[in-house]
Structure 1
Amino acid sequence: MLPFFFFLLLSFSISQALPPPRGFYLNCGSPSTTKLNDINYTSDRGFINVGNTTTIKQKDLLPILSTLRYFPDKSSRKHCYNFPVARNSKYLIRTTYYYGNFDGKNSPPVFDQIIGGTKWSVVNTSEDYSKGQSSYYEIVVGVPGRTLSVCLAKNANTLSSPFISALDVQSLEDTMYNSTDLGLYKLSLIARNSFGVDGEMISYPDDKYNRLWQPFSDKKHQSVTSQSSVNPSDFWNIPPAKAFVEGFTVTKGKALELKWPPFPLPATKYYIALYFQDDRSPSPLSWRAFGASINGATFSRKLNVSTNGVMVYSGQWPLSGQTTITLTTAKGSPMGAVINAGEVFQVIPIGGATNISDVTALEDLLESIDEPPVDWSGDPCLPLANSWTGVTCSKEKITKVISLNLTNRGLAGSLPPSISNMTALKDLWLGKNNLTGPIPDLSPMTRLETLHLEDNQFNGSIPESLAQLPNLRILSIKNNKLQGTIPSALLQRKGLTIQASPENMPSTNNTGPS
């Protein structure tokens, strides 16, 4: 699993009130709204319609940790929260978990979390829970459409029910983390720290985007306190001014070596942002110059840091194992190097995309039927191991639905005309349900090979357009309320087996067994 940071149960601080941040803040499993740091965490009802809720019977818990939603259904491939968002927007997602032994098993479950169609990470809260602590994960994502889904799913190591305590969906500005193409990648948080600090973490309202900046102290380095404030809007990532209040420094002429993050990292690409400010009172002499390298590779050749502060970043920086940041004072600099804060994210490639026509067709079908499978939420195809029940998809960059099998699922309702937009579909099996209405024009589905609509309540005539399906081998429409006989164009098709009720058969035909 990826490394992550934790927060203590009572570690949030409260300061002066500001306008609430933009986004969604859910107290999962709670029937009511609770306030934390001047942010209203509302009930998660309305964002998810599956799962059970429970209360953690433990004293001195933060309100958002005292309830949770869990998902005992073993047949579901994923359990999704859905949020209405602006098209082409950017969000920070934070999932928070506190096990609290809610299931009496004394062992937190291990499971996956998914954003859209991309597997984000494995959730394993065992170590934190053994210390009486909660766990959280963060990711920065771009959203091309109007819906954002956050899902939990079982994996091979899941022995009990996945759960979640709180969920934050925080809107971000366009400038933030903009060196990474969020149409191709997502940024999963590894570490976000303010240096030289051994106290409370920084969050809202100090950070108006409700990011969590954990304190990071190191007795090997000299700490300094800034004598002036930065303007957060001067930086693309809009860090909180409080993150610059303290920092690490060295005497002039020496190098500052910082092992951070303080744990080894898997070999891959990372987004790195480092923040610096001269700690003295503003004056023409309040500056210092130094270079920055990471694991021996030049990160920034010469930084000129004043009391206004500086941010340097890389959107695709290779890291592996223990990371060492080295700041080397430049010749002629009046002071040694200084560093105040840093962020590291793992760059995660987006796991493909599902054909938009297929998504629209399945969403229309979802609206047209009663009692659909409970996991029909989020991306219909992706990740492939977590596609909707009954949906099979192709393995390609833009994945398409190739099979839909909802046989004997107890469905009622009708088929929307847009179902024909799933043009890659080879098998459509909807038999043994209680579907009504006419059979729509399926002629655009030119790859369809098998069509099972038997044992339903379909009415109207048998569409002659079915004869325009060049690859159709099996057509089963028996035991419905269809009027009239099978069109002659269908009967004349070679290699087509038709299964129909006697009243729909002409007196002479070439059909297969009914």
Structure 2
Amino acid sequence: MHLVLASINCGETDTLVDTNGIIWTPDTNLISNGVARVVQSSNQITPIVDTLRVFTSRRKNCYSVPVTKGEKVLVRVLFNYGNYDRLSNPPTFDIHFDGNYWTTVQTALTGLTMHEVTYVTKGDAVSVCLAQTKSGQFPIISTLEVRGLDSEIYSDLEDSRALFLMSRFSYGASGTLRYPSDPYDRIWLARTAGTETATSDAIVIDSTGPNAVPSGVLRNAATVGSTTDRLLVATISPISFPVYMNMYFSEVSNLDSTETRSFKAYETNSSGTSPFSPTISPPYGSLLESTIYDYSVDSMTNISLVADADSDYPPLVNAIEAFYISGVLTEGTDSNDVEALGLLQTTFDVLGEWKGDPCLPAGYSWDWLNCSNDAIPRVTSLHLDSFGLSGSLPDISSMDALEIIDFHNNSFTGTIPSSLGTMPNLKELNLGNNKLSGSVPSSLSKNNKLKLIITGNPLCTASSKACSNSPATINSSPDNTAVASKKKSNMLPVVLGVTIPAFFLMWIAAGNGAYGGQTNAKFDGFQTTTTSGEHVDVTVNNEGNQTFGSPSPLLDENYNHNNSDDATH
């Protein structure tokens, strides 16, 4: 399989190769909307993240990357505002993937913000969309990455759900590790935890395991000074969404037959302290994985590693990954509608600029259509008036939920397709001010439930068979309540849904690192402890709640670089 599917450098015009050997291509062939910009020189980090694309128009703007249907992918997006507009006003906006609400992005005045999601694709493309949610705050994007994963990786995950990365740490490491050390280009950040760092004396470490972790993350470990000390690895607050956590262990010393290192994971909360894992004895020169899946708590809970009573050595941990598990992902807009919209887009080039799911998430449909609120939405109206469309009208009769079709004020030629008269829910058809000729199909002219507008076309009337301008409206009975042909509002949508806690890990960057830059990082969500190192902290910032209107949950993920060992909370 192809592991690196796409590395898109947004706003750039040339192909670049970074210090990790990753080839970055410009986004000019993927999107036609938006404007390329460059961050201010004082905020520049590396050419890969010093350019961006900003979107000042449309409800949402989407990138689409071809993939194989059913493939497990890791999708990562990076944002570097860098005060490109000299307004010192970093924007807040939403991002979506494949019709699912992903998160609300809060960019920083300086530095980088990253979000990552892993899931199994349901179609032949990955779409990532940026949606404006606040007046005057325009979405930006610096990079888009799509990586292929083997199906065995994170195999606990159901195909109908997604993983939103909270953190991926390599304890005691000297710097960030990613591709080519990790062929899947997962970014492992160097961190400390506990009170001590240990380095393996094994010449070779076999990292074979379900999640294919790179051997480099097993070279070092976090530990504590005594078997009586606890090694804190995570703090989890009571939240609506379950947690998925992988811990990776490898013994750092070749213990003799009389020596042991054994410990268990314990949870401590308002109910007390209790073990919730079997005994862990890290193997020397190889890997042991311990997984916590679909884990949720009712009160603030600490996860710690505690040595067994007969253990000669204290607990250790080499690496950890933590995710939120999403709700069930959407199946997307009805396939018949998607296929017919695809026909419209291939027939009329101007429509090809719209990508992503046509109807989802709710409130973010394409600008020129409306959709139903069904679990699998249907397109209920098309508003393509004054789009400069020309040529023959294609057959879109498979869009049988359509109630309004507004094609007026274009340059369509040829005859009116009789297939339009077979659409069972059609209430209004506006073909006025085009160049259509021939006669009106009887399936339309005799439909007393249809408001048909054909003025401004050289059509032949049914009575005289002579071509002339037809009346503005035919077959509109007084008893017929026509659906108003009202163009969609350009006002920003109000996204309705449940309110969930916001999680933000703001990784403020400057210099050389994972993308060729160096950072000083500030974390919210995974706390940095000053006395005993760093541990995963799944805590809630109750001051900022997010709302969403799709089946997918919210998770904010942020970005860091090489040599960013220092962090403050």
Interval containing the TM-score (normalised by the shorter chain): 0.7 to 0.9
- Within a 5 Å distance, the mapping from 1:226-375 to structure 2 comes to 226-228=200-202, 229-232=204-207, 234-250=208-224, 253-260=227-234, 266-281=239-254, 288-296=261-269, 298-307=275-284, 308-318=286-296, 324-349=302-327, 350-372=329-351, 374=353
| Greater Cα offset, 324-333 or 93-102 | 324-333
8 A Cα contact 2:223 2:231, kept in partner: no
How far, CA to CA, are the matches of 2:409 and 2:23 in structure 1?
47
Instruction: Call closer, same or farther: CA 1:479–1:294 in 2, change over 3 Å.
Output: farther
Shift of 1:153: 0.9
- Within a 5 Å distance, the mapping from 1:457-468 to structure 2 comes to 457-466=435-444
Instruction: Call closer, same or farther: CA 1:510–1:315 in 2, change over 3 Å.
Output: closer
Q: Deviations over 1:391-437 (max 9, x none)?
A: 111112111111222233333344321x1111111222222222233
Partner of 1:42: 25
Q: Deviations over 1:99-131 (max 9, x none)?
A: 1111111121111111110111111122xx4xx
8 A Cα contact 2:458 2:468, kept in partner: no
Shift of 1:155: 1.0
Secondary structure of the corresponding residue to residue 296 of structure 2:
strand
Q: Deviations over 1:431-481 (max 9, x none)?
A: 222223333313552122222222222234322343797x83312222223
How far, CA to CA, are the matches of 2:72 and 2:345 in structure 1?
27
For residue 99 of structure 1, what is the amino acid of its counterpart?
Answer: Y
Q: Deviations over 1:235-272 (max 9, x none)?
A: 222111111111122466435231536x9685421221
- Within a 5 Å distance, the mapping from 1:87-236 to structure 2 comes to 87-126=69-108, 129=109, 132-156=110-134, 159-182=136-159, 184-197=160-173, 199-218=174-193, 220-228=194-202, 229-232=204-207, 234-236=208-210
Instruction: Call closer, same or farther: CA 1:325–1:468 in 2, change over 3 Å.
Output: farther
For residue 318 of structure 2, what is the amino acid of its counterpart?
Answer: N
How far, CA to CA, are the matches of 2:298 and 2:107 in structure 1?
24
Instruction: Call closer, same or farther: CA 1:385–1:503 in 2, change over 3 Å.
Output: closer
Partner of 2:372: 394
Secondary structure of the corresponding residue to residue 242 of structure 1:
helix
Shift of 1:293: 3.2
8 A Cα contact 2:451 2:475, kept in partner: no
8 A Cα contact 1:110 1:124, kept in partner: yes
Give % identity: 31
What's the Cα RMSD here? Answer: 3.0
How far, CA to CA, are the matches of 2:392 and 2:78 in structure 1?
39
Q: Deviations over 1:167-205 (max 9, x none)?
A: 1111111111121123x22211111111234x3211112
Q: Does 1:61 align with 2:45?
A: yes
8 A Cα contact 1:269 1:318, kept in partner: yes
8 A Cα contact 1:370 1:412, kept in partner: no
Shift of 1:298: 5.0
TM-score relative to the length of structure 2: 0.75
Shift of 1:352: 4.9
For residue 363 of structure 1, what is the amino acid of its counterpart?
Answer: G
Which among 56, 76, 85 is matched to residue 72 of structure 1?
56
Partner of 1:494: none
Instruction: Call closer, same or farther: CA 1:78–1:294 in 2, change over 3 Å.
Output: farther
Shift of 1:30: 0.9
For residue 174 of structure 1, what is the amino acid of its counterpart?
Answer: S
How far, CA to CA, are the matches of 2:348 and 2:65 in structure 1?
22
Shift of 1:134: 1.7
Aligned length: 466
Partner of 1:15: none
Partner of 1:426: 403
8 A Cα contact 1:97 1:164, kept in partner: yes
Partner of 2:431: 453
8 A Cα contact 2:2 2:148, kept in partner: no
Secondary structure of the corresponding residue to residue 338 of structure 2:
helix
Q: Deviations over 1:272-306 (max 9, x none)?
A: 11111111137767863322134557542333321
How far, CA to CA, are the matches of 2:105 and 2:97 in structure 1?
13
Instruction: Call closer, same or farther: CA 1:325–1:401 in 2, change over 3 Å.
Output: same
How far, CA to CA, are the matches of 1:487 and 1:210 in structure 2?
71
Which among 450, 463, 466 is matched to residue 473 of structure 1?
450
Unaligned runs of 5+ in 2: 479-569
Instruction: Call closer, same or farther: CA 1:264–1:103 in 2, change over 3 Å.
Output: farther
Q: Deviations over 1:38-93 (max 9, x none)?
A: 111111121111111122342662120121111122xx011111111111111111
Instruction: Call closer, same or farther: CA 1:361–1:337 in 2, change over 3 Å.
Output: same
Unaligned runs of 5+ in 1: 1-18, 489-500
8 A Cα contact 2:93 2:137, kept in partner: no
Q: Does 1:29 align with 2:11?
A: yes
Partner of 2:562: none
| Greater Cα offset, 112-121 or 443-452 | 443-452
8 A Cα contact 1:272 1:343, kept in partner: yes
Instruction: Call closer, same or farther: CA 1:282–1:79 in 2, change over 3 Å.
Output: farther
How far, CA to CA, are the matches of 2:155 and 2:70 in structure 1?
13
